[in-house]
């Protein structure tokens, strides 16, 4: 990779595994000092042990849906690496349930993590980014934030909200030198995909192989995305040369999502 992000402090939420871990590795490979935020301290420690030999990295534990937890974690992150110049909001949860079986607790949990968590983390960094006249915010949304789907009403609503927030912040902070974009992965080879496959198999009687084929068929390329492919898209939005790209929802799904 390059040293193009040397001197920049990047913070990645939900960074302990899956897409978040790939993003942390990729940004560190481009020279950024990286703070990896997550809820599972053991997972974070494993990733830090992997990366510390070749990168400046640290871990902070926080629940992005909790305002106090976010404040404490971001203050700890800044104490070592300084103001956050790059924020990647990747933390999220996905839960599927028929709408008539949705309860308020599940609805709130999904929106609090995916949407309110993104709001709280953005709020923690935009003052310093604006003052520095440079910043990059990348929100990991989903193709579910662009098209609806059965059984994912809470998740889809949250990710649509993330894209709306992205576009509003991009407009508001454009003159401050801060770009705000969303990356929208399709089904990606992560633990979350494994959970989705298991859920489909359990509720429909299909085999895991049949469930995976059904999900892969939603992409024009008939395959799943890799976490590294998502990470490369995120990194491009942070690297020099992307200054004029803001307010975009970039699909990483092997082709435009097709209705199921």
Name the token pair of 144: 């579910």
Beta bridge mates, 58? 35
Chain centroid, CA 54 distance in Å? 24
What's the N-to-C CA distance of the chain in angstroms?
A: 37
Choosing from 155, 173, 187, 224, which is the catalytic residue? 155
Q: Which of 11, 114, 24, 113 is nearest to 66 (CA)?
A: 113
Dihedral over alpha carbons 126, 111, 188, 148 (to 10 degrees): -110
Alpha helices in 4-66 (DSSP H): 18-29, 41-51
On whether the CB atoms of residues 113 and 91 are closer than 8 A, the answer is yes
Q: Does residue 151 carry a catalytic annotation?
A: no
Please give the positions annotated as active site: 155
């Amino acid at each position: 990779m390059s040293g193009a992000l040397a001197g920049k402090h990047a913070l990645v939420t939900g960074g302990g595994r899956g897409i978040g871990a790939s993003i942390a590795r990729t940004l560190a490979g481009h020279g950024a000092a990286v703070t990896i935020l997550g809820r599972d301290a053991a997972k974070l420690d494993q990733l830090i042990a992997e990366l510390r030999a070749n990168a400046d990295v640290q871990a902070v534990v926080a629940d992005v849906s909790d305002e106090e937890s976010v404040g404490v974690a971001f203050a700890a992150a800044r104490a070592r690496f300084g103001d956050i110049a790059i924020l990647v909001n990747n933390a999220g949860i996905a839960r599927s349930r028929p709408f008539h079986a949705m309860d308020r607790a599940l609805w709130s949990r999904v929106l609090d993590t995916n949407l309110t968590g993104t709001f709280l983390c953005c709020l923690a960094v935009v003052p310093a980014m604006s003052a520095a006249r440079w910043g990059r915010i990348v929100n990991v949304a989903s193709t579910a934030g662009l098209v609806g789907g059965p059984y994912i009403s809470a998740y889809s609503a949250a990710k649509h909200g993330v894209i709306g927030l992205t576009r509003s912040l991009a407009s508001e902070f454009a003159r401050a030198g801060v770009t705000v974009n969303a990356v929208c992965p399709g089904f990606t080879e992560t633990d979350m995909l494994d959970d989705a496959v298991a859920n489909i198999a359990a509720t429909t009687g299909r085999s895991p192989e049949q469930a995976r084929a059904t999900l892969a068929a939603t992409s024009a390329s008939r395959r799943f995305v890799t976490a590294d492919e998502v990470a490369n898209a995120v990194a491009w939005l942070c690297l020099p040369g992307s200054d004029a790209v803001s307010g975009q929802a970039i699909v990483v799904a092997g082709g435009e999502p097709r209705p199921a």
